[in-house]
């Protein structure tokens, strides 16, 4: 065992010192872990006495729970950041409106429009198709699907706003480059920023080629208190300094 540890240490040092000149790369904890795993794998490969082991179901469940908790904490941080950004923009807009109206702090009347008109979409047409409330999105994923899964924090549910993008003449739908930011107002309450996710079909960060006649499903997600029934909803759209509202329900 002592021999294995020494050899592993030597392998790691060789990997770290390899490369251009004598420079030692500044590795993150994750990269260091990968180096250690690689070195251990080489050691085991040439160890005649090595025998594979099977990870127990309990260990798998413990690791799954650990990863889900990390994802929940990250998602909560993203939601807080989105809410703070939406609130900041609302305050700035109210301040600008007050200055324009001679010192009044009352916000300007909302400008209502369609998402396609607001973002000047010509090759693609986006239509709102519905709202669902769930605890997790997507509810199921394939084993090889690397995209993130969004889970509601304790005491909340996810409001999933669903859209369909249809290619008209074939072209790129690039919401990220358009500086698209979305928020929603549900049942007339305060504004909630759309969550930043790793979903492949997140409308806010979508960058996808859509052929003529092709249909693509997209979503925007925010959190609502458990038991919320959505009777009215407005989509608040921003593209840099522009702002408009689209009535959803």
Query: Six-digit token pair at 21?
Result: 């000149």
Banded pLDDT at 18 (limits 50, 70, 90) = very low
Decide: 35 and 12 in contact? Cβ < 8 Å. Answer: yes
Banded pLDDT at 241 (limits 50, 70, 90) = confident
What's this model's pTM, rounded to 2 decimal places? Answer: 0.60
pLDDT tens digits for range 83-126: 667 667 666 665 665 555 555 555 567 789 999 999 999 999 99
* Residue 162 phi, psi (nearest 5): -105, 135
Most confident among 39-48, 58-67, 163-172 (mean pLDDT): 163-172
pLDDT tens digits for range 202-233: 999 999 999 999 999 999 999 999 999 999 99
Residues of the chain by 3-state class (helix, strand, coil), percent to 5: 35, 30, 40
User: CB burial class (10 A; 0-12, 13-18, 19+) of residue 219?
Assistant: buried
Query: For the chain, what is the mean pLDDT?
Result: 76
pLDDT of residue 145: 56
Banded pLDDT at 179 (limits 50, 70, 90) = confident
Query: Six-digit token pair at 84?
Result: 């703070």
Length of the chain: 249
Decide: 249 and 231 in contact? Cβ < 8 Å. Answer: yes
C-alpha closest to that of 192 among 73, 89, 105 = 89
């Amino acid at each position: 065992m002592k021999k294995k540890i020494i050899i592993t240490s030597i392998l790691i040092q060789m990997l770290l010192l390899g490369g251009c000149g004598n420079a030692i790369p500044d590795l993150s904890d994750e990269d260091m872990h990968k180096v250690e795993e690689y070195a251990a794998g080489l050691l085991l490969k040439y160890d005649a006495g090595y025998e594979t082991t099977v990870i127990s179901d309990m260990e798998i469940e413990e690791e799954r729970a650990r990863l889900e908790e990390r994802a929940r904490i990250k998602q909560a941080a993203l939601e807080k950041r989105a809410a703070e950004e939406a609130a900041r923009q609302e305050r700035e807009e109210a301040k600008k409106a007050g200055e324009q109206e001679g010192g009044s702090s009352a916000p300007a009347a909302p400008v209502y429009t369609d998402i396609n008109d607001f973002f000047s979409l010509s090759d693609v047409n986006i239509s709102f198709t519905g709202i669902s409330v769930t605890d997790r999105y997507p509810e199921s994923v394939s084993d090889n699907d690397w995209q993130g899964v969004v889970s509601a924090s304790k005491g909340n549910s996810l409001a999933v706003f669903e859209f369909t993008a249809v290619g008209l003449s074939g072209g790129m739908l690039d919401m990220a480059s358009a500086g698209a930011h979305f928020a929603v107002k549900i049942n007339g309450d305060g504004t909630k920023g759309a969550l930043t996710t790793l979903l492949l079909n997140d409308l806010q960060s979508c960058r996808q080629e859509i052929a003529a006649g092709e249909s693509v499903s997209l979503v925007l997600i925010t959190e609502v208190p458990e038991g919320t029934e959505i009777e009215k909803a407005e989509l608040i759209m921003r593209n840099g300094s522009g702002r408009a509202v689209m009535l959803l329900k």
